[in-house]
Amino acid sequence: MNKNIVFTVIVFFTVIVGLIWIARPGGKQDKNLANSGSVLSGAFSAEESIFDFGAISMAAGKVSHSFKFKNTGDSPLSVSKIYTSCMCTTAELSAGGKKFGPFGMPGHGFVPKINANVPAGEEGVVEAVFDPNAHGPAGVGKVERVITLENSAGAPLEFYFSATVTP
| Largest pairwise CA distance in the chain | 67
DSSP character string of 21-60: HHHSS---TTS-TT----EEETTEEES--EEEEEEEEGGG
| Count of domains observed in the chain | 1
pLDDT digits (tens), the chain, 167 positions: 677 787 777 767 676 766 566 665 544 444 444 444 445 555 888 989 999 999 999 999 999 999 999 999 888 999 999 999 999 999 999 998 899 989 999 887 777 889 899 999 999 999 999 999 999 988 899 999 999 999 888 889 999 999 999 99
CATH number at residue 90: 2.60.40.10
In this prediction the pTM is: 0.73
Q: Would residue 51 count as lying in a domain? A: yes
Q: Would residue 14 count as lying in a domain? A: no
Q: State phi, psi for 85 to the nearest 5 degrees.
A: -90, -5
Domain that holds residue 81: 29-166
Indicate the burial class of 153 (C-beta count within 10 angstroms; 0-12, 13-18, 19 or more).
Answer: buried
Q: Would residue 4 count as lying in a domain? A: no
Q: Which residues of 86-112 are buried (b: 16+ CB within 10 A; e: fewer)?
A: bebbbbbbbbbeeebbebbbbeeeebe
